[in-house]
Amino acid sequence: MTKPTEPQPPRPVGPRWATRLLHAFCAPHLVDEMAGDLDELFQQRVGTIGLRKARLRYIRDVLSLLRPFALKHKPTVQHFSKYPQHSSFHPDMIRNYLKIAFRNLGKNKIYSFINIGGLTVGMTVAMLIGLWIYDELSFDTDHLNYNRIAKVMLQQTVEGNTSTSEWVPIPLSTALKNDYGSDFSHIVLTHQTGEQILANGTAKLTQKGYYAEPEFLEILPLKLRQGARSGLNDPGSILLSESLASALFGNTDPINQLVKVNNKVAVKVAGVYPDFPNNSEFRDVAYVLPWTQFVADQEWVKRVEDNWGVNAFQLLVQLAPNADLDKVSAKIESVKATHAKDEAKFNPKAFLHPMSRWHLYSEWENGVPVRGRIQFVWLFGIIGLFVLLLACINFMNLSTARSEKRAKEVGIRKAVGSVRSQLIGQFFSESFLVVFFAFALSLLLVQLALPWFNEIADKNTSILWNNSLFWALGIGFSLITGLVAGSYPAFYLSGFQPVKVLKGTFRVGRFASMPRKVLVVTQFTVSLALIIGTIIVFRQIQYAKNRPLGYDRNGLVSVRMNTPELMERYGIIHTELLQTGAVVSVAESNNPTTGVYSSDNRLDWKGKDPNRPVDFNVVTCTHDFGKTVGWQIKEGRDFSRNFSTDSTGLILNESAIKYMGLKHPIGERIKWANETYTVIGVIKDLVTDSPFEPVKQTAFRLNYEWTNFITIRLNPKMSAREALNKIEPIFRKYNPASPFDYKFVSAEQDQKFRAEERIGKLATLFAILAIFISCLGLFGLASFVAEQRTKEIGVRKVLGASVFNLWQLLSKDFIVLVLISFLLASPVAYYFMSGWLKQYTYRSDISWWIFAVSGLAAIGITLATVSFQSIKAALMNPVRSLRSE
């Protein structure tokens, strides 16, 4: 029989109030360890020094531990103090986010490449467009008085149609100074010189410039590098741009040096100003000549100094400091009608057009600014946002598509204590890491692409490295992109329930792929709309290029008569040119074939309403002009030396006959100023102005005195180079002081399409990049779908499915999405592009085949993108496919 166990005495403990004090004041993560150590030490002391002394020592030790490092508000590691438990911004958590993010990027190289590549392209496009828009919006803003500078413009109404022009009569300047002088700081008359020859010794250059009154320097104002600001007060002076001064004089000081203008007038260099920036309306102004020289040199200007009917000059003004532009514009509205009673029938209205709107709002229709570069600013801004959106869609699509792959990761993280905010932080960290790489790469791509981009866009833009606004926008833009691109995956993936995931009962649901399909449809809708729009733009350009011109431009060369030698020796030059055999015809005219610079309102004819205003284009020419340009006679005959009466003969174009309402025009008498002319011929319309606008009524008459251009028809049996080599010595012989400057009429005509062609090229570039980004996303999705259906593909192959069957299975869903995109994009593109075409009077229609070609191209691109992954999956060994599952 065992002896019963003796009851053990109770284990001594330290004073309870001291233990409570320790728990009350010590940090939770330290208190358990300290309490255990104190208790162990207390038990040892009970055996050596007794219970009473052990308790006193316990109390002393507790009090000694209540130090700042151990108190609740001071954790052991100081920098942890500002982060609450489970904080998503804990430094350790952030390091973990980045480590996992790098690991995931490296593990999924294809998806990482697609995400980073797509975002890089999207951000590059957005940056290029942003720089283009910045350049457009900053036109002329370098001028000190930018907000107070304006052009005086005129509107005149003829038969209910209001025309708007920046050309005004000279007397308008005097009237504004006399009647409204207090509203303006400066009022300046200017006139564009066109191309003139400036020479110094052997240096001879053809440049464009301005004639201007002295206060021109105050309005802009120009900061002279050299010389005096009073230079324009001297009729015999000239101001040169730095680049022109360097070209003419090299390193020699140009001040007080002589420059010969058109081998006619020698002027003294009074000043050198810095070149106008590329984004300035005055960027082609290489020199400025005094207005007084213009009046003295040009006889016709003297004759119209008091004529309110000749609108051929520009008037720049600077408002007084306290003047309001709109109020002043309203005040001066009737100034021309008040001073020129004969012009009142045109209902002329003057108004101020501010410098801030010159570039962006330059096209008027019936008195209203309806078009200009502003429409392209909006267009490209929207395209930039859409292209960036396409790149973000790729990221969201691939992240959500791979959600099932990462569902287990989310479940485990939640099971071990991760809260949803930490998971959201994890996915956003991955998003921001991708955006960071994309932003860095996009800066590099923009820097590399800028020279090429500037050439296409006719710009001189550069990355604004030193501009704080650029970096604020760039970084803010990146953060927004990261938030947008990472938002859906972050909130979608972090919402998975860990129990279902870890048990294997988690399913993404039958509609889980629906958001991805919607985003793919959005991508291709945008891309298809861009493709359709680009085709319509280029078709409109080609339509205008193919417009019948009414003359033969091939082999037609124009030479400006800008020296006295050419004007005085035209007869002998004409004869010798024909003797070379390189020329079949030569003629003179006051305008080039590709433009008409003069108009007249003094024509009168039988049956004309006396109250009806008149506006005709006027071309003066020599006898052989029609033969040289190859115009087509519709009625009557051409000018002929066999008829001396042709000096008072008129040839009218079809538009003029329609405008005048003449049923039998040949022999009709036309009163023009104080003379009577007879209509001897009617020609088919010549397209001399804008190829997109209707031809204006035009009258042609003989005049050997008022001519400024020589038009030459080259021998078609010779090459252009061979013919020009025979022509050039004749011009150098009789015009030795000037370079042989010539222009092919075909090249001048093509120049009229440059703005539209630039826009078309940029739109094409952006459309290609949009398709590229969309295809990147499509490639990634196809790869994922093929990977997801590996087992199904293996089973189907074992059961006898062919490669074509499997390709069809994997491709059809994507084709359906592209077809839906096509159905959405077509009406949207038609609506916007039909509105764009309405700005052109002469325009193409929108044919059905444009949409068909775009749709087929989109399907072809889709099949090419998807087929690689589809065929690769279909050709996989089914044994390996099944084993991989």
* H/E run at residue 785: helix 754-788
Q: How many CB atoms lie within 10 A of CB 290?
A: 24
Q: Please, which residues have CB within 8 angstroms of residue 650's CB and are 6 or more apart in sequence?
A: 670, 672, 677, 678, 679, 680, 699, 700, 701
For residue 534, the number of C-alpha atoms closer than 13 Å in the C-beta half-sphere is 23
Quote the pLDDT of residue 470.
82
Quote the pLDDT of residue 179.
92
CA distances from 823 to 525, 773, 828, 835 (A): 8, 21, 9, 20
Nearest to residue 352, comparing CAs of 369, 338, 339, 340? 369
CB 828 within 8 Å of CB 525 = yes
- Is residue 807 very low, low, confident or very high in pLDDT (cuts 50, 70, 90)? confident
Cα separation, 769 vs 777, whole angstroms: 12
Cα-Cα end-to-end distance for the chain: 68
CA distances from 595 to 309, 691, 705, 833 (A): 21, 11, 19, 29
- Is residue 624 very low, low, confident or very high in pLDDT (cuts 50, 70, 90)? very high
Q: Which residues pair with 587 in a beta bridge?
A: 711
303-352: per-residue pLDDT in tens?
888 888 788 899 999 999 989 999 999 999 999 888 887 777 778 899 99
CB 114 within 8 Å of CB 779 = yes
Cα separation, 200 vs 250, whole angstroms: 11
Please give the structure tokens belonging to residue 847: 């044919």
Return the sign of the alpha-carbon dihedral for residues 432, 435, 437, 443. Answer: negative
Quote the pLDDT of residue 815.
87
Per-residue pLDDT averaged across 719-745, rounded? 89
Output 141 or 315, whichever has higher pLDDT: 315
**Amino acid of residue 85:** Q
Quote the pLDDT of residue 75.
45
For residue 876, the number of C-alpha atoms closer than 13 Å in the C-beta half-sphere is 25
* H/E run at residue 480: helix 468-493
Q: Please, which residues have CB within 8 angstroms of residue 736's CB and are 6 or more apart in sequence?
A: 565
- Is residue 76 very low, low, confident or very high in pLDDT (cuts 50, 70, 90)? very low
Q: From the centroid of its chain, how far is CA 580?
A: 48
174-229: per-residue pLDDT in tens?
999 999 999 999 999 999 887 888 988 888 888 999 999 999 988 987 788 998 88
Quote the pLDDT of residue 708.
87
Nearest to residue 733, comparing CAs of 581, 569, 579? 569
Per-residue pLDDT averaged across 117-146, rounded? 87
For residue 862, the number of C-alpha atoms closer than 13 Å in the C-beta half-sphere is 26
Helix, strand or coil, per DSSP, at residue 223: coil
- Is residue 143 very low, low, confident or very high in pLDDT (cuts 50, 70, 90)? confident
Please give the structure tokens belonging to residue 517: 């399909």
Cα separation, 756 vs 375, whole angstroms: 12
Per-residue pLDDT averaged across 578-593, rounded? 92
Whether residue 724 has pLDDT greater than 60? yes
CB 881 within 8 Å of CB 794 = yes
Quote the pLDDT of residue 788.
67
Output 781 or 682, whichever has higher pLDDT: 682
Whether residue 504 has pLDDT greater than 70? no
Helix axes 373-401, 754-788, angle to 10 degrees: 10
28-64: per-residue pLDDT in tens?
666 767 777 778 788 888 878 888 888 888 888 888 7
Please give the structure tokens belonging to residue 237: 């002076």
Q: Which residues pair with 652 in a beta bridge?
A: 682, 699
Per-residue pLDDT averaged across 370-393, rounded? 82
C-alpha gyration radius of the chain: 41
**Would you list the domain boundaries of the chain?**
16-80, 146-358, 375-543+754-883, 556-745
Quote the pLDDT of residue 404.
57
**Amino acid of residue 74:** K
Whether residue 450 has pLDDT greater than 50? yes
Angle at 390 between CA 389 and CA 396, to 5 degrees: 85
Burial of 287 (0-12, 13-18, 19+ CB in 10 A): buried
What is the chain's length?
Answer: 885
Place of tokens 């409109």: 540
CB 242 within 8 Å of CB 211 = no
Output 81 or 529, whichever has higher pLDDT: 529
393-426: per-residue pLDDT in tens?
877 777 666 655 666 666 776 666 666 677 777 7
Long-range Cβ contacts of 714-722 (<8 Å, 24+ apart): 714/555, 714/556, 714/557, 714/582, 714/583, 714/584, 715/555, 715/581, 715/582, 715/583, 715/584, 716/554, 716/555, 716/584, 718/581, 718/582, 720/555, 720/744, 722/582
Per-residue pLDDT averaged across 628-632, rounded? 94
Nearest to residue 502, comparing CAs of 385, 372, 412? 412
Quote the pLDDT of residue 517.
79
237-273: per-residue pLDDT in tens?
999 999 999 999 998 999 999 999 888 889 999 999 9
Whether residue 854 has pLDDT greater than 70? yes
Quote the pLDDT of residue 498.
62
Quote the pLDDT of residue 654.
94
CB 115 within 8 Å of CB 773 = no
Quote the pLDDT of residue 787.
66
In 332-381, which ranges are E strands? Answer: 349-354, 363-365, 368-371
Whether residue 442 has pLDDT greater than 50? yes
Whether residue 83 has pLDDT greater than 60? no
Whether residue 5 has pLDDT greater than 70? no
Q: From the centroid of its chain, how far is CA 512?
A: 39
Output 429 or 880, whichever has higher pLDDT: 429
Cα separation, 749 vs 752, whole angstroms: 6
DSSP result, 393-419: HHHHHHHHHTHHHHHHHHHHHHHTT--
The three-state DSSP-derived secondary structure of 40-54 is HHHHHHHHHHCHHHH
Nearest to residue 825, comparing CAs of 860, 857, 856, 851? 851
What DSSP state is assigned to residue 582? Answer: S
Cα separation, 455 vs 128, whole angstroms: 13
Quote the pLDDT of residue 398.
72
Quote the pLDDT of residue 242.
94
Output 658 or 142, whichever has higher pLDDT: 658
CB 695 within 8 Å of CB 653 = yes
The three-state DSSP-derived secondary structure of 257-309 is CEEEECCCEEEEEEEEECCCCCCCCCCCCCEEEEHHHHHHHCHHHHHCCCCCC
Give me the helices (H) in 181-241, please: 216-219
Whether residue 673 has pLDDT greater than 60? yes
Averaged pLDDT score across all residues of the chain? 82
Whether residue 509 has pLDDT greater than 60? no
Quote the pLDDT of residue 386.
84
